[in-house]
Structure 1
Amino acid sequence: MYNLLKKVILCSVVLLLMVIPNISLAKSSVNVEKISHNLMTSEQGDTYLHIEINTNREVKNFSIQENPNNKYQLIFNIEDAQISNISRQEKLDGNIAKKVFLQEKKDTVQGKIYLQEEVNNNYKIYSLGKKGIAIDIFNSVVNTPVASDVALSNVKNKIITIDPGHGGSDSGAVGPNGYTEKEGTFAISQKVASILNQSGAKVVMTRDSDVDVYGPNASARNELQARVDVGNNANSDIFVSIHCNAFVNPAANGTQTFYYGSSYQGQRLAQSIQEKMIEANGLRDRGISTCNFYVVKHSYMPAVLIETAFITNYDEEALLSDDEWQTTMAKAIAEGINEYFSN
């Protein structure tokens, strides 16, 4: 009888141990598996930061609010969740927000988004179904349209590819104070696109955020061809690549525009843009020159590569990182494009 009782108790324990893991699995939490972001444009032409928090299943309970103790932060919570084996910090676009940081608090994943400006209540959070959740943030730095002082009637209905040089794993040249070429080119390119869009042009960007166009760790040829493909596949009327110049001697300075040697239309486009930029910025006029740069040579349409200023020059690095100067250059480039289409 005693042995029979022992067997009954032992079987009961084994059954209980088998059931407990199943109960645990049934109540397993959502796993946060990836953070990604893009700069996007709404139907009204507003640019906003789109952040996706990708999970292994649908998120049922989530929320977002301003940090009451920090006016430059948004805090979002995903309940019944945990973080997978991923980086808990993601660098964002730099114009609207700097970074997002994840942490676990009991059964909740909490994220902090560090903004460039004070929270302006212009944000939203919503479900992506089984993909997770998304957060959209509008910000006046990028969201405010850049108006040109000149009516750009000639660009209406033109397809224009704007190529912000470098990006993603390729920072481009770096200034003495740490400002990167990819930051400067993207800021100016976004403003050029805003002006042209307002004037009725159809602008195609080779990249809409800080990413490699072809993909991480691509060869230089593949990356450059991916940019060319954007313009060629869109049947663009022109291709404009925007860069910052660099040289070992920090005294090097000025603005220059390149075109492919056998392209008369490319030469016209380069001349129009160069003249407008020099009128606007007052820097040394390095003129226009022929080149064999890949994106200029392999584009099917007239193409130019602009060297806005020298990022390795202390004074010009400061200009390149200045929002007002970026706007001045963007207007000049857009007006140069408009001048090209006038003939």
Structure 2
Amino acid sequence: MDRPIVTCGATSGIGARQRIELFHARYPWSFKKGSRGPAGSFFTGLLHAYGQPKSVSPPIRSSQGSAPTPHSTEPGASMPHVQVSVDTHDGVCAATLHTPSDVGAWPGVILYPDAGGVRGTFAAMADRLAGMGYSVLLPDVYYRTEWAPFDIATVFDDPSERERLAALSVSVDADMVVRDAGAFLAYLARHPAVAGTRVGTVGYCMGGRMSLTAAAHHADRIAAAASFHGGELAAAGDPDSPHLLAHLMRGTIYVAAAQDDKVFPADQHERLRSALSGAGVRYTLETYAAAHGFAVPDIPPHDADAERRHWDALARLYGENLSG
């Protein structure tokens, strides 16, 4: 059943070009050479990292407002999953809930996708995480806007698609992330397939920033948060930068940076380390010997060894912090 499309916030009711212009007005340094603005360098980094085509399976298509139907990219790896609707402050967020194959209840995890949004690859990743013993909520973070899934193999070769991706990637602000996270946590708390009150978050690229933002503002529930090749985690001059929220974080934080990452350069790395250390946060901050995008199988920088390392890191993080 199709769900209504909800628009809200500062960018509601406007088109892709207007959204980009609005973002330029907010952050005049964005999208310029050498930019280090909150999303300016973020999107420039995406172009740098993802700009080479890669042959992948066609993206999953969805009807207006509904979550894409998940499938596994690995034979035999599919887990039970259902399409769900999460009531939020701003409307209805379509999502999928992935659970282990056995009947029971398991710790909850929220999985935030990269800027390309929910698609088959992330459904497969949610399946894999569910197979590790977790009930995984994969939300459509762009639910406020009617959008069609991107073809990740060609999105950066098509100027109109690049513009559409840019508009979407800046349409979800920090306040929205915080409100949505509260709704996701409330949904998990009510679901019979979720055990306990400790929840984990994990995000990739843009989602890494969302994961840490949620962990800070919902510290009473989020016991472990991970970011993999996350962008703009400690951007100077950005009032919503996650590093400024370190004093709110109570859970364990794991950040895996990419090598020579334009959206998380050395100065941000040190700024984040200083903030987490100064706030007494339990954290791991390390750099994988792989490019931005290493953990996501359907994009060109994917690195199989780094992806395996990231799954091992998640297993340890959640195993140590979400049980009991």
TM-based fold match above 0.5: no
Rg larger in 1 or in 2? 1
**TM-score interval for Structure 1 and Structure 2 normalised by the shorter chain:** 0.3 to 0.5
Higher strand share: 1
